[in-house]
Structure 1
């Protein structure tokens, strides 16, 4: 096997290691298995925040006298928390994907002021590309589906609020 020179990138800043850390994280692991594994905790977060959004919506004089509209408005507002969680996951996984497909690794040796760039050797680049294509890309696709579902639910709920 070809011996590579020492890698100057600190281990915790290497894209493959960052991928493993993200995948092992409680929050970012949600979309790694399947869409159902992602939707369960999002639905739970929606149910958790729903009473609060219903309470806030009940402060509206108009909605207080229209219970169906009040419930619809509260349900639509409660989708905001799962949507923000999805956006945070999207940003984290997109960053890892970009670092994996890049030919170079930007890193910090000791602080914010000493940014360096290191070109990945070919074997590292090939391994990172495989992980990006076969591991991270499906996660990003699941997140896209979930974000699309959240947007559809928000639009449908807003239309329902108008129709009631």
Structure 2
């Protein structure tokens, strides 16, 4: 941080600190490195929940006697977990992105909803803008591509299941 600027915002509520916190989080680092890392983590989550979703789908009388549709329906239903994980990551990263792009920082001094606003100095705005454009925006792009892929898989799987 710039030592010549006095900042009233508590350190844990500063946009750059929030960014750093997300990059240190096991869950939020999935989309940080590459699309392959994110896809691998989502595939693992899908594989872990698939047996449970197939088991739940086996409760359907019509699917119980059609193993192909049963596995397909369970696989499509299991895509809900990766989608929920993606939505949670999207919410976290888009919140930090918005805070980095903002010219002001909203913060709480005491935690009693005494919302304050502090105008970022120009040097902070420049640094935050660089972080938002070169670090967070690519992450949001990877998340958007993954959400589009999962949505396509869900729609394609549902239409195939319906056609069978």
TM over 0.5: same fold?
yes
Runs of 4+ in 1 over 3 A off after TM superposition: 2-5
Matched residues in 2 for 1:24 and 1:5: separation? 26
Matched residues in 2 for 1:39 and 1:155: separation? 18
Is 2:62 aligned against 1:68? no
Q: How does 1:1-164 map to 2 (within 5 A)?
A: 4-164=4-164
Q: CA deviation at 1:145?
A: 0.2
Map Cα deviations across residues 57-88 of structure 1 (whole Å, 9 max, x no partner). Answer: 00000001111110110000000000000000
Aligned residues: 163
Map Cα deviations across residues 22-65 of structure 1 (whole Å, 9 max, x no partner). Answer: 01100000000000000111100100000000000000000011
Q: CA deviation at 1:104?
A: 0.2
SS at 2:117's partner residue? strand
- Shift of the 5–33 alpha-carbon distance from structure 1 to 2, 3 Å rule, reads closer
Q: CA deviation at 1:3?
A: 6.5
Q: CA deviation at 1:155?
A: 0.4
State the superposition RMSD in angstroms.
1.1
Matched residues in 1 for 2:53 and 2:112: separation? 40
5+ long unaligned stretches in structure 1:
none
TM-score, scaled to structure 2: 0.97
5+ long unaligned stretches in structure 2:
none
- Shift of the 3–10 alpha-carbon distance from structure 1 to 2, 3 Å rule, reads closer
Matched residues in 1 for 2:116 and 2:32: separation? 31
SS at 1:106's partner residue? strand
